[in-house]
Amino acid sequence: MWRSFLRAHARITRVLEAELIAEQRLSLAAYDVLVQLAESPSTRMRMTELADAVLLSRSGVTRLVDRLERAGLVGRERADGDGRGIVAVLTPLGAERLRSASTTHLTGVAEHFGESFGPGELEAFGRTCDRLAADDVFP
């Protein structure tokens, strides 16, 4: 079962990534960064929090934010009250790009993931994933 889960995850993320790149010229990781920023208060997050949220190393998220910043989708600012901290900030262009990419991504999620479940299965799977992802499961 575990290996089936890993294969399914890999297959679905590969397909979703390929669709985002083909239609939006945006990687799945870049899309995730834009989503995390859009959903955060004031559309900004500390780089360390962003790395944790998108499940990348700190250096990995730094390189990704560098690319998104060069594309004008994300900016960087000093954290309020902390001269050393840096926050990533979603730009208006980044928000626009996210809206466009969301159509591609959410259509893919529905097609490649959601349609694979029968009545009630998706809700049960979601509850199981929520339990596994809870912070108190693996201290």
Structural domains in the chain? 1-132 (1.10.10.10)
Position 6 confidence tier, pLDDT thresholds 50, 70, 90: very high
Residue 139 vs residue 16, higher pLDDT: 16
**What span, in angstroms and rounded, lies between the C-alpha atoms of 86 and 60?**
15
Q: What is the pLDDT of residue 137?
A: 55
Contact between 42 and 75 under an 8 Å Cβ cutoff? The reply is no
Amino acid at 57: S
End-to-end CA distance of the chain: 24
What is the token pair recorded at 36?
A: 């995390």
pTM comes to 0.88
- Structure confidence at residue 83 (pLDDT): 67
Amino acid at residue number 61: V
Question: What CA–CA distance (Å, rounded) separates 129 from 139?
Answer: 16
- Report the candidate in 71, 80, 77 with the shortest Cα–Cα distance to residue 34: 71
Contact 54, 36 (CB under 8 A): yes
The pLDDT tens digits for 75-128 are 999 887 766 788 999 999 999 999 999 999 999 999 999 999 998 999 999 898
State the chain's mean pLDDT as an integer: 91
Per-position DSSP letters for 11-71, written without gaps between them:
HHHHHHHHHHHHHHS--HHHHHHHHHHHHSGGGEEEHHHHHHHHT--HHHHHHHHHHHHHT
